[in-house]
Structure 1
Amino acid sequence: MELVRQWGDTAETEAVGAFWRWWSVAGAGLITAAVMTGVYGDLPEMIGAMVMAIHPELRWETGPGARSRHRLCVSGGGDPRLRVLAERWRRAAPRPTETWEFAAAREPQPNMLTGTLEGLDQPVDLGLARIAVDWDPRRALAELTVFHPAFKGMGTNDCRQAARLLVDWLLGEDDVQRWVGAVSVTRTDPRDSQPAAVVPEFFQAVATRTADPRWTMREAKTSSGHRVIVCALRPLRWVDHPLLDLHTAVRVRYRRTGNDGLPDDGLPDGEALLGLLQLEKDLESVLGPRGRMVASETSNGLRVLHYYSDSEDQNGRDSFDRFARSRKDVQVDHTHDPGWGRVRKFI
């Protein structure tokens, strides 16, 4: 079993608490005055040091708010490990005010398309960018191909950097994680490309159609000929539950069909299947809202239930362990897994 680091025992907790104590005592007033006057002094370095104390790779920025006048954002740049920390920072924040709201990921900034991206091989007028969207309905993910006339005179790395910034500004960090599987660049305009500015409308429509994940089932066979039944929620998106960073594999042995004189395909017989369904119900009642099952695999006498929970919630992990101790046919393994890498094969 992999040891899981406890959020409550780490320096990050103290750093988050220190940030919000500073904010309540002096920070909110200082940064409000700086935004209004444009005089920041050493405030950026001060805030940067406090954010980096949570994790050295976190970054912060301010911008217009959606409900408040200003937004303070701490971002992990799309890294699932850092997204967890940014979310914990946000959830520890005071209530939003008329002046300030708080975010754990960069929001879309479509107004950036009216500007020019500097600092690369040559300036990039973002308003001229075009994007081709290749949508995979089975995976509910898109591959984006970004074209810009300036790419013809730019190196590949600069093209990729410009494309990535453009997509982040169009969709925001979380929607990039949610809907985009890959971003590539091209120096010739794809036949099915469209102006970059209209691409967010496509993903808004996608979000409406796929608002509620649904259970799907697939079947395959192992090399030994045993059937494998995989059930999984789709779309399967860790970014919709950024604090559920602890993967728990619940392994359940069951009675196979061959035990009844029937051909043994490795799947449970009728009585065993009813027992497995009841076990899932019992586990759900024990966990309550603390754990979320996202997939299961059934094959060759073993069912594996894939759950995610909050690694900060010791009671959640203990609930799994107590459940396993009470049943001789159940084992559990815990793995720290922000980004849900353990179930990526089911996407």
Structure 2
Amino acid sequence: MRLFGRKDGAAPEPNEGVAAFWSWWQETRPQIDAMLDAAEAEAEANLQAEAERPAERPVERPSERPAEPPAERIDSGDGISATELAEFERLIQGFDAPEAERPAGTEPTEGPNQATAEDAGTAEEAGAAEEAGSSGAERLAAYLGPAVAAIHPDLVGEIVPGRNAAHALVVTAAGDPELRSLAHRWARAAPPADAQWEYHPSRQANPRALALRLEVGGYEFALAELRLGLRVPRGTPRVDVSAFHPVFVMLDEETRLEATLLALDWLLGEDDVARWVGEITPTTFQPIDAVEAVHFPAVVADLASEYTEEQWAQLEGQTADGSRLVAVTRFPLRPVDHPLFDQHIAIALPYARADDEGLPEGRSLAALRDFEERLSRQLLKLRGGAVLAAHVSAERHRVLHIYADPASEAAAKLKELATSWKEGHPRVDVALDPAWTAVAPFLS
């Protein structure tokens, strides 16, 4: 796996950065393909040299345990053994974030140094590096790192084996909800996938995850040795995870967490981690009833089967002034389910008839229900361009929170719909809110 990106500095306008990336990609793809071929040929040559190196014969002692038999060759389906696969990934890994942004304690196993925009940001500079004898992997990093950073400095790019193509280019927000919509717009603007490349806006589950090994804080982190304590709190659509690995006792807390997050992404896929995983706690001891990591996707799939139909939840609380508040929210409510909906549309409707606690009743309650029915019909006409996330009633006002794709006509259509409200002057506020902070108390 190759990583690149995460540079400090101001980001360009999203549409401008995405369009510029894909224009650059089309122009430089022949050079990128050549660099990738060179990196893989170099890794294959290193593997061959390693295989031809005479093995040292260990000196047996009576007190020592007998040597274990050679590892069985497990064919991955394409003629590459699990051992060879791990060695290949060890040799080509290293397109990591620049030093200032790399998670503490994590280092590529034996990869090339990461090139930054200051080091090599143009084809000419990359060509000069090639003439100087740099590897194909280094030249690839010099090309791709600055290109991803130009979209946004906090995006992370990776090259991994593809599902249907030979390779996948992934540009991910790496768990940052503020950037998820940008990563998905990048993927939506991608060219059609072909035999060589496919494109993803988040890390995909890796079917070979348990064969992967990486170096973390100077220690080998094998996913097959990861053990997970899994707990589903009553009435919640989340799995809380306690993670243990033998090397965790040698690592600091931040490094343990970074390694755990990366492992969960490989096992489940980044979006499903955001969707179904709650608290994540790396531990230095094996949790009671811990299971092998291979069982994690099945546990999550079982939980997800309980939420296949649309559900709503009613919540109660108080306003800052102590008035009663009632909220009705989609459940589960998760921005990851609607990654392009980063435009928040708040429709505030004052109502005339209310009870002693300021909540709607009588004709006003009927009028609000009628408005919501018309709102639902309008959202259907937008053909998936917007979604009602929640509505909150308190102090003689109901606020409806809608999230939409800014490229849709949702804002204009809903402003027009709001003018039909007769019980006072409605207000419509439209703002970008990619992390859905306006409904943060209701996020699942």
Asked if Structure 1 and Structure 2 have the same fold, meaning a TM-score greater than 0.5 normalized by the shorter chain, the answer is: yes
CA-to-partner distance for each residue in 1:112-135, whole Å, 9 max, x for gaps?
432433141533333221111121
CA contact (8 A) 1:130 1:146 kept: yes
Residue in structure 2 matched with residue 15 of structure 1 by the alignment: 17
- 2:173 corresponds to which of 76, 80, 83: 76
Residue in structure 2 matched with residue 277 of structure 1 by the alignment: 369
Residue in structure 1 matched with residue 406 of structure 2 by the alignment: 311
Give % identity: 34
- 2:429 corresponds to which of 329, 333, 342: 333
Distance between the aligned counterparts of 2:322 and 2:215, measured in 1?
58
Structure 1 unmatched runs, 5+? 1-9, 259-263
- 1:122 corresponds to which of 219, 230, 242: 219
Residue in structure 2 matched with residue 63 of structure 1 by the alignment: 160
RMSD: 2.4
Q: Cα distance 1:110–1:97, how it changes in 2: closer, same or farther (>3 A)?
A: closer
1:34 aligned to 2:35? yes
- Post-superposition offset of 1:204: 2.0
- Post-superposition offset of 1:303: 1.0
- Post-superposition offset of 1:71: 1.3
Corresponding letter in the other structure for 2:416 = R
Distance between the aligned counterparts of 2:405 and 2:364, measured in 1?
31
CA contact (8 A) 2:227 2:293 kept: yes
Residue in structure 2 matched with residue 94 of structure 1 by the alignment: 191
* 172-181 or 213-222: bigger deviation: 213-222
1:53 aligned to 2:144? no
Distance between the aligned counterparts of 1:122 and 1:47, measured in 2?
28
Q: Cα distance 1:186–1:43, how it changes in 2: closer, same or farther (>3 A)?
A: closer
The structure richer in helix per residue is: 1
Normalization by structure 1: what TM-score?
0.86
Trace 1:232-271 onto structure 2 (pairs within 5 A): 232-258=329-355, 264-271=356-363
1:344 aligned to 2:436? no
Q: Cα distance 1:342–1:138, how it changes in 2: closer, same or farther (>3 A)?
A: farther
Residue in structure 1 matched with residue 81 of structure 2 by the alignment: none
Residue in structure 1 matched with residue 414 of structure 2 by the alignment: 320
Residue in structure 1 matched with residue 241 of structure 2 by the alignment: 144
Residue in structure 2 matched with residue 207 of structure 1 by the alignment: 304
Distance between the aligned counterparts of 2:179 and 2:302, measured in 1?
29
CA-to-partner distance for each residue in 1:85-111, whole Å, 9 max, x for gaps?
111111111222232211000112353
CA contact (8 A) 1:248 1:335 kept: yes
> What SS is found at the alignment partner of 2:286?
coil
Q: Cα distance 1:105–1:324, how it changes in 2: closer, same or farther (>3 A)?
A: same
Q: Cα distance 1:284–1:213, how it changes in 2: closer, same or farther (>3 A)?
A: closer
- Post-superposition offset of 1:280: 1.8
Q: Please identify the structure whose Cα radius of gyration is greater.
A: 2
Corresponding letter in the other structure for 1:310 = D
CA contact (8 A) 2:237 2:304 kept: no
CA-to-partner distance for each residue in 1:149-202, whole Å, 9 max, x for gaps?
222233223322222222222222111111112211212211121111211111
Q: Cα distance 1:68–1:137, how it changes in 2: closer, same or farther (>3 A)?
A: farther
- Post-superposition offset of 1:295: 0.7
Trace 1:159-178 onto structure 2 (pairs within 5 A): 159-178=256-275
Normalization by structure 2: what TM-score?
0.68
Q: Cα distance 1:280–1:145, how it changes in 2: closer, same or farther (>3 A)?
A: same
Distance between the aligned counterparts of 1:154 and 1:89, measured in 2?
35
1:187 aligned to 2:187? no
The structure richer in strand per residue is: 1
Q: Cα distance 1:271–1:154, how it changes in 2: closer, same or farther (>3 A)?
A: same
1:300 aligned to 2:385? no
> What SS is found at the alignment partner of 2:164?
coil
Higher RCO (CA 8 Å, separation ≥ 6 residues): 1
> What SS is found at the alignment partner of 1:42?
helix
